[in-house]
Amino acid sequence: MRILRILKRHKLAIFIVLLSFIGAILRSFNLNWGSPFYFHPDERNIASAIVNLQFPNQMNPHFFAYGSFPIYLIYFTVFLINSFHKSQDVFIQGIFISRFYSAFLSILIIPSLYLLGKKLEGKKIGIIAAAFGTFCVGFIQFAHFGTFEMWLTFLGVWLLYFSLDLTKKIKLSTIFIVGAIFGLLMSTKISSFPLIMLPTVSIFINLYSKKKIHFAILLTILKSITILCVSFLVFMLTNPYVFLNFSSFISSMRYESSLAIGTLPVFYTGEFFNSIPIVFQFIRIYPFLLNPLLTFLFIPSFVYILILYFKKRNPFHLLLITCFLLLFLPQTFLSAKWTRYIVATLPFMYLIIAISFFNFIEFLNKEKHTLFNYQYTGISLIVIVSFIFSVSYFITVFVKQDSRIHASLWAKKNIPRSSIVLSEIYDMGIVPFNQYLQNITLFNFYDLDHTPEIKKAQLNNLLLESEYVILPSQRILKTRLINKDKFPIGNKFYNNLLNGTLDFRKIYETSCDVFCKITYLGDPIFSFEQTVNVFDRPNVIIFKKI
């Protein structure tokens, strides 16, 4: 009986622990996926930066696309492990430890969502948001990537959490905590700077309710400067080579910003031509990261919470809306619209949906004539749908063998080792084939529409000689098929390859079972933005000359 009383008293905590445990399974299973090839290019860049570090003599990462804070933490974790058990391959250690941190932070987001939802609107909202977050495909995917999206997402949740406190009481300790969190956000990715508006708005709300507007503005500026000073100190301590190697930092920032805004065209941004901001994210990205049902529900939920704010003037609602928009809008209108850019918006979308949906079903349940409990039925339906999509993704990508490794093993059995093979450049997916096929030629299909006569002549000669063509992913295929006007020669080549005009027939393609069809809405090539699956589960196609 005593155990039952304890369980009843702590049932909420037990439920959150249970959700976190389920989330941990989905996030930590097969963290070593892709071994020993490790296909994700950003992971490889981060691991290379870690390999270059040597405490205390050489601490310049020579890599500024991301901040140094996570890189240093991963490096010192590897350093500590090696002080007890020396490893010969720091590169592999760096990838695995970076994935460990991503998974760990992704798990922590579940109870963090509960605490933030509880502060925003109450325990029930926290539970709903935590349940949504547990079965989030985006969180499960990026928990398996040794990149820093989970760092940004976790820190963003807690920046909003403590910013909410500033609307009620401006304590020096809270200002220092907010400054430290913002500094770590900047130390993870400098594009987080717009989030400084969160504590600024919080402080202004607090002061405006007590003083005249001109005093509120002045004091808001002064207190925001205090937050910036704290964050700058944290940034400086965790990113010293931004200042010690300032020219390299500026050069990297110019390169990254040129990619993002489209002034520097590169081979891996070809799918974004003519893409419409906001529409693209809600059609090609969010249905994967959230799932189609939650994506659909978010739109009326966002409109509802806007109306709710203007009706009740709840500052917490204003900050939640502001947080989402600060993370969403600056990324949405960039030329490059990669999936990773908007992962950090997901917790706040869950909270918006949870508040709006819960209020709606509360209204339905207040109708005296109904005996039907819409509350549990509606939420259960959404959680079940989320569960189906998350488990389908989990099975498709991490339970099953990596699609590139599976294809290479098939090639080992079905393609003679000495065969002449043609494949695409800039794709790590071809690497597993190298151990089984000794004569692979890589051709730059990205440049087929540039200096076309020379490229066409080279390609024609290669096609005459080649016995097989291997496409290790859909990366070039997709962009050329959907952009006929932009890539007319590439479009013609891939169409002819698929329909047999080039005298090659398809003999292998990565299979797509029921879980795959659920995950990618029936089409793993064209349904979503290509980085949704080009790193962890690309579609491999092999052709044989007739």
**N-to-C CA span, the chain:** 75
The dihedral formed by the CA atoms of 44, 45, 46 and 51, expressed in degrees to the nearest 10: 80
Q: Are 480 and 473 in contact (CB under 8 A)?
A: no
Q: At 117, is the secondary structure helix, strand, or coil?
A: helix
Q: Which two tokens stand for residue 209?
A: 């309710």
Residue type, 198: L
333: Cα within 13 Å, side-chain hemisphere: 4
Residue in the block written with tokens 């189609």 = 292
What are the φ/ψ torsions at residue 421 (nearest 5 degrees)?
-120, 135
Question: Residue 280: its pLDDT value, please?
Answer: 97
Q: Looking up tokens 């400054």, which residue turns up?
A: 179
User: 440: which strand partners?
Assistant: 421
Torsion of CA 242, 243, 247, 251, to 10 degrees: 20
Cα–Cα distances in Å, from 389 out to 65, 99, 127, 134, 367? 32, 22, 20, 12, 33
Pick from 313, 293, 310: which is nearest to 357 by CA? Answer: 293
Based on C-alpha coordinates, what's the Rg of the chain? 25
Backbone dihedral angles phi then psi of residue 249, each to the nearest 5 degrees:
-60, -45
- Which whole-number Å values give the CA distances from 7 to 124, 130, 259, 376, in the listed order? 18, 20, 54, 21
Residue bearing tokens 């900047």: 186
Integer CA distances (angstroms), 57 to 43, 53, 61, 382, in order: 24, 8, 12, 53
Domain extents in the chain: 12-398, 403-545
Per-position DSSP letters for 259-291, written without gaps between them = HHHTSS--GGGGGGTTPPTTHHHHHHTHHHHT-
Report angle CA 165, 168, 170 to the nearest 5 degrees. 75
Q: Kindly list the averaged pLDDT for each block of 10 residues, start to end, along the chain of length 546.
A: 61 92 98 96 96 94 94 96 84 97 98 97 94 98 98 98 95 96 97 95 88 76 94 97 95 90 82 92 98 97 94 94 97 93 98 91 62 69 96 98 98 97 96 97 92 87 97 96 93 96 96 98 96 97 96
298-to-158, 291, 358, 370, 504 alpha-carbon distances in Å: 22, 11, 13, 26, 46
Identify the sign of the CA torsion 76, 82, 83, 84: positive
For 41, the token pair is 């290019």
Measured N-to-C along each axis, helices 315-332 and 197-208 cross at an angle, to the nearest 10 degrees, of 150
Q: Which 8-state DSSP code applies to residue 474?
A: S
Whose tokens are 């928990």? That residue is: 143
Return phi, psi of residue 430, to 5°.
-80, -15
From CA 350, how far away is CA 370, in angstroms rounded? 28
Task: Please enumerate in sequence order all residues whose Cβ is within 8 A of that of 353, keeping only pairs 6 or more positions apart, or say none.
Answer: 132, 294, 297, 298, 301
Report d(CA 459, CA 521) in Å as an integer.
34
Report field, pTM of the whole predicted structure over 0.75:
yes
Q: What is the identity of the amino acid at 307?
A: I
Q: How far is CA 226 from CA 150, 178, 190, 233, in A?
A: 27, 10, 19, 11
Q: How many CB atoms sit inside 10 A of residue 13's CB?
A: 11
Strands 504-509 and 468-471, by their bridges, are unpaired
Instruction: Specify which residues 469 forms β-bridges with.
Output: 422, 543
User: CA 353, CA 290: separation in Å to the nearest integer?
Assistant: 11
pLDDT of residue 371: 47
CA quadruple 71, 145, 404, 272: dihedral sign: negative
3-state helix, strand, coil in the chain (%, to 5): 70, 5, 25
